[in-house]
Chain A
Amino acid sequence: MEVRVQNIRKEFGRFPALEDVSLDIRSGELIALLGPSGSGKTTLLRLVAGLESPTEGTIFFGDEDASKKTVQQRNIGFVFQHYALFRHMTVLDNVAFGLKVRPAKRRPSAADIRRRAVDLLELVQLSGLERRYPAQLSGGQRQRVALARAMAVEPNVLLLDEPFGALDAQVRKELRRWLREIHDRTGHTTIFVTHDQEEALELADRVVVMSKGAIEQVGTPDEIYDHPVSPFVYGFIGQSNCLDVTLANGEIWHEDRPIGLRAGNEPDGAATLYFRPHDVELIDGCGGCLAGLVTASRRVAGTRHLELDLGRKHPPVEIELPPERAASTDHTRIAFRPTRWKLFRKGGQKEAPLIEAEAPVLAATGT
């Protein structure tokens, strides 16, 4: 079922948790709400579920206005961060709960309920643990019980709050892949909340990046990573460097020299240059480049990470190179230039507008 969130605003007391948020989710999509804590992602999820009611705005399930409906009427499946399994019920009773509490008219027979719960436990690979209590399960198993319980009611939309937050790294990775499989098999429209970008990028069809109660960007993982639309997204997703630069006569200057990148027709002024550590190339002769002293050099698997000191004021810049290109560069000076980058106008306003799209074009001379 498709879910449309329209101009939602939510205040807790006088504190705004969400401001004018709109989002269209297609049927069968797996969507990640990604952001730091306090960005409003969990609030948005709870609003869709009906566990909170919006101060303003509407939420549609298909063509139906769901915002007036109670959480029970919305027929959603919600997986809580700490699972909220009923501790006094067996695994089987937990999964069957949503069916058992239905009014007699819509309730399947006891045998059907049992069969359905057993099937779901098989789907989440927990066959044989029906009689266990939640306290007798590992974290990963509890997580799967919670998912089976949420799916038992055949929800319009499946909502997961930090589904892997309480698990250790190994189990996390496994469950992530497994959740993707389950989603592909069952086809539920699924929204999950996470603060882990790797999780969002790996798992989701589309990622919604949120910050301070607003949506920064919505896009596929590739779009989000390759074309971030704001400094926040650039900084939040993946590694990135940012440099204070000035624009003068269509050229980008870092401190007192041009760095060999063109700023097009943008007016002169202060700006911030963003680039990823791996989107750089080394240059031999420096006729317009960035140059810095290597202060640290670490080999991490297939790449070498270099930390460069570009000058007094700047925090160190990190770049990544193939190991053979930077064999023993400790305490040497190297010159480089970003190959993919983005420029954001330094603004006094809360959001610095983008002034130049990423351009893997090299400026004039060099190499």
Chain B
Amino acid sequence: MAHDAGYASNTLVTAATSETRLSRVVLTIVALGFVALFLLLPLATVFIEAFRKGAAEFFTALGDPETFSAIRLTLLVAGIAVPLNLVFGVAAAWAIAKFEFKGKAFLTTLIDLPFSVSPVISGLVFVLLFSSHSVLGPILQSYGIQILFAVPGLVLATVFVTFPFVARELIPLMQEQGTADEEAALSLGATGWQTFWHVTLPNIKWGLLYGVLLCNARAMGEFGAVSVVSGHIRGQTNTMPLQVEILYNEYNFVAAFAVAALLALLALVTLVLKTALELRYSDEIAASRRH
């Protein structure tokens, strides 16, 4: 039945925008070929290299205390940075989309800054701010607070780099939705918090989820900025991407690719999660866009 329908629509295409069979096939092959060459092949290489000497070697590499601490550190940093940017992103998008204030255009531009600045420079900024030659560094040091070459520095750099993801995702969405729903809720007697919780949040939840997933993927994978502020102290301030580099430079290929594979896996899980949610709630998503 489904085949019949597909066949019928294939042979009966007469719309002006439809292509000939040949050009459709060529276009599809080009697109798929490109994806295979530039996305799938490198990804596959990572996994193949990781398992070159068998699964046992792979798990031994991951069980190494230094590697293990890198995994823990990455999860910790992402676990702090992502919620922070979630809150900030929603607040910024709300401010920009729902009301007028002075400096709005400036804030919008500023949100894009981390995207336009090289991650290395983002890291350097924090070094300049908190190093022992700066103004802030010695003061914090005197209270026993260590920023650089420690977890706080890694978190700061990660927050800075992943700062735009949630806000960028939400601003166009919230602007498109306008303020009528919120006004309706307020006119019915809802408090500001109830309005946010029962009306605004459900309206933006898909965009928010997508933004958080992207933010998380980047937070775990960030290299440049983190590399500058980390100090590369083994077993203490190396995140997973940094650990990959160290292992690779030491010609420890299996271990390097094992960590890389795990990192890639985390990214894949993120994507699969997103797709699964989209499939599961496709009706609801379509409904919320259509209305």
CA distance A102 to B181 in the complex (A): 18
**Residues of B contacting A72 with CB < 8 Å?**
186-187, 189-191
**Residues of B contacting A77 with CB < 8 Å?**
187-188
CA distance A101 to B184 in the complex (A): 13
Asked if residues A78 and B287 are in contact (CB atoms below 8 Å), the reply is: no
CA distance A85 to B188 in the complex (A): 12
**Residues of A contacting B102 with CB < 8 Å?**
none
**Residues of A contacting B194 with CB < 8 Å?**
101
CA distance A116 to B238 in the complex (A): 61
Asked if residues A71 and B187 are in contact (CB atoms below 8 Å), the reply is: yes
Q: Please tell me the size bucket of the interface on A.
A: 20 to 34
Asked if residues A78 and B185 are in contact (CB atoms below 8 Å), the reply is: no
Q: Select the residue from B183, B184, B185 with max chain A CB neighbours within 10 A.
A: B184
Q: Is B199 an interface residue (CB 8 A)?
A: yes
Asked if residues A135 and B290 are in contact (CB atoms below 8 Å), the reply is: yes
Within 8 A of A (CB), among B175-228: 180-181, 183-191, 194, 198-199, 202-203
Within 8 A of B (CB), among A311-366: none
The residue on B at minimum CB distance from A159 is: B187
CA distance A310 to B185 in the complex (A): 57
Asked if residues B180 and A101 are in contact (CB atoms below 8 Å), the reply is: no
Q: Select the residue from A72, A98, A150 with max chain B CB neighbours within 10 A.
A: A72
Interface size on B (CB < 8 Å)? 21
Q: Is A133 an interface residue (CB 8 A)?
A: yes
CA distance A218 to B75 in the complex (A): 68
CA distance A46 to B185 in the complex (A): 14
Asked if residues B188 and A97 are in contact (CB atoms below 8 Å), the reply is: yes
Task: Name the prevailing secondary structure of the B interface residues.
Answer: helix
**Residues of B contacting A84 with CB < 8 Å?**
180-181, 183-184
CA distance A150 to B188 in the complex (A): 7
Asked if residues B189 and A134 are in contact (CB atoms below 8 Å), the reply is: no
The residue on B at minimum CB distance from A97 is: B188
Asked if residues A101 and B188 are in contact (CB atoms below 8 Å), the reply is: yes
CA distance A150 to B203 in the complex (A): 20
CA distance A76 to B186 in the complex (A): 10
Q: Mark B235-249, 1 if CB is under 8 A from A, else 0.
A: 000000000000000
**Residues of B contacting A87 with CB < 8 Å?**
203, 287-288, 291
**Residues of A contacting B287 with CB < 8 Å?**
87, 133, 135-136
**Residues of A contacting B183 with CB < 8 Å?**
51, 71, 78, 80, 84
Q: Is A153 an interface residue (CB 8 A)?
A: yes
Within 8 A of B (CB), among A122-162: 133-136, 149-150, 152-153
What are 23 pairs between A and B in contact, CB < 8 Å?
A71-B183, A72-B187, A72-B189, A72-B190, A78-B183, A78-B187, A80-B184, A84-B181, A84-B184, A86-B181, A86-B185, A86-B198, A86-B199, A87-B203, A87-B287, A87-B288, A88-B202, A88-B284, A88-B288, A97-B188, A98-B190, A149-B184, A153-B189
Given contacts A84-B181, A98-B188, 6 further A-B contacts (CB under 8 A): A76-B187, A78-B184, A84-B180, A84-B184, A88-B202, A101-B190
List the interface of chain A (C-beta within 8 A of B).
49-51, 71-72, 75-78, 80-82, 84-88, 97-98, 101-102, 133-136, 149-150, 152-153
Give the 5 A-B residue pairs with the shortest CB-CB distance, closest first: A98-B188, A84-B180, A84-B184, A78-B187, A101-B190
